[in-house]
Amino acid sequence: MTKYSLKFPNDFILGAASSAWQTEGWSGKKDGQDSYIDAWYKNDRKVWHNGYGPAVATDFYNRYVEDIDLMKVVGLTHYRSSINWSRFMLDYEQGIVDEEYANYVEQVIDTMLANGIEPMFCLEHYELPAYLLDKYGGWSSLEVVDMFVNYAREVFRRYGSKVKHWFTFNEPIVVQTRVFLDAIRYPYEQDTNKWMVWNHAKNLATAKIVKAYREGGYEGKIGVVLNPEVTYPRSSALHDRRAAEIYDLFYNRVFLDPAIKGEYPEQLLTLLKGNGIDFEPSAEELAIIKNNTVDFIGANLYYPHRVKAPEAEWPRDVPFHPKKYFSVFELPGREMNFSRGWEIDPAIVYDMAMRIKNDYGNIEWILSENGMGIENEVQFKDENGQIQDDYRIDFISRHLYHLLRAIEDGANCKGYMLWSFTDNVSPMNAFKNRYGLVEIDLEDNRNRRVKKSGYWYKELSESRCLIFDQDSEYR
Ligand code: BGP
């Protein structure tokens, strides 16, 4: 067997990602500081696996010093989390900051920097304040957009000189897609119109925050973390290719194009109109989006999407859903992560890199999330109690291999962030599927234990070299 060593570029980021709500827990949280996720958990706990959720999460709020030490143990150069908007403010409308939470954020940043780990932050990772959802309808309101921009200004003012990588949102499409398109998440309301209103409000918020950041003259980069779905048609037939193209418009280009090119794709606007979706952004809003595109993006890439021409005609009396134009296609024989129900195909990384290069001006980007959630990992413990997660090492290696190959072919990718640093809480799945380089032991006071992959990641980060088996079936 021939083993090859692939070198990482010198400045390549090897980090990990998480978010505030998935790690911090509610210690120190005050009445009225619930996020949308907290409200969902409080109102509908039965859908959260084994009752776990954001209430304690990994208790990062109290244990961040210990965790930052562990970041060094597993060799992270960078760590991305979010600042929890719902907790950062005591009064969202008046912009009154919760100094206790703000001070905690400052301590986290300072401790990371003192340990040689660069922090990156999203301003929102589903942490829309529940109060703003109830009172204003959340992102249906332009007042909420402006409150978010003011919060961002305050965050930059406090931490802008220390933190050099900022993102407005993590996966801004997700909440409204699950809630208003698919109606499978709290508060379970089907409203495709609202779905588009929320998309637009978030695109507008990103542009306004990019503007505010530039006006502040900070020395860093600002972008947005998206989850572009690498979408393949079942076949080369026109009807399947059309299904994939339309899927791409509704789920990817609706955010990629405004963020990077400053405009919505014409074909998307035509399809919305043709299906009775009343989407009429003002000329002023479109100009803000046009003039304030991002410096870079994060792309979260987990699995491929496959679609085919729709199996049936969309029923007349059912509200419009993009599914009118496609059906999901399951590739026979596909490789699966059965715990999560996601297909594995590491070549998505190369394909997305080439797309960003060819269709989006080769804008700078990072692979901001990629990882493997596995159920019941304790079954893989060795006699010393360490989880032997060779499957995770294999998963990461194969994705990194395709990323390095893309960089060789000119992709402007500056880093890889694993999801996740420690095991953490997923929406609904809670601690069911474990993603971490570090185990969180729920039976034993949430104690941390580095998995085999954690030590492997450290080695990777120090050697800056991926050892890859040339004869592997995964090429
Ligand atoms: C991404 C989200 C993360 C994280 C991850 C894993 O889409 O940005 O917050 O949860 O997916 O997915 P899941 O937690 O659903 O298994």
Q: How far is CA 357 from CA 111, 365, 369, 412, in A?
A: 36, 10, 19, 7
Q: pLDDT band at 254, cuts 50/70/90?
A: very high
User: Active-site residues: which are they?
Assistant: 171, 369
Distance of CA 224 to the CA centre of its chain: 9
- Report residue 81 as tokens: 């989390």
> Is residue 95 scored above 60 in pLDDT?
yes
15 contacts: CB under 8 Å, gap ≥ 6:
76, 77, 78, 79, 80, 118, 120, 415, 416, 417, 418
**381-437: pLDDT as tens digits:** 999 999 999 999 999 999 999 999 999 999 999 999 999 999 999 999 999 999 999
pLDDT at res. 475: 45
pLDDT at res. 472: 61
**182-203: pLDDT as tens digits:** 999 999 999 999 999 999 999 9
> Is residue 470 scored above 70 in pLDDT?
no
19 lines ligand 1 (CB under 6 A): yes
pLDDT at res. 50: 97
How many Å apart are CA 409 and CA 353, to the nearest integer? Answer: 9
Q: How many CB atoms lie within 10 A of CB 191?
A: 16
pLDDT mean across residues, the chain: 97
- Of all protein residues, whose CA lies closest to atom 10 belonging to ligand 1? 426
Cβ atoms 217, 295 nearer than 8 A: no
Against a cut of 0.95, is the pTM above it?
A: yes
pLDDT at res. 5: 87
> Is residue 335 scored above 90 in pLDDT?
yes
Ligand 1 closest atom vs CA 19: 9
Pocket perturbation via mutation, ligand 1, pick of 227, 230, 297, 300 by most ligand atoms within 8 A of CB: 300
Domains of the chain: 3-304+334-469 (3.20.20.80)
> Is residue 471 scored above 70 in pLDDT?
no
206 lines ligand 1 (CB under 6 A): no
248 lines ligand 1 (CB under 6 A): no
300 lines ligand 1 (CB under 6 A): yes
**435-459: pLDDT as tens digits:** 999 999 999 999 999 999 999 999 9
pLDDT at res. 1: 58
Q: How far is the CA of 436 from the centre of ligand 1 (A)?
A: 12
> Is residue 474 scored above 80 in pLDDT?
no
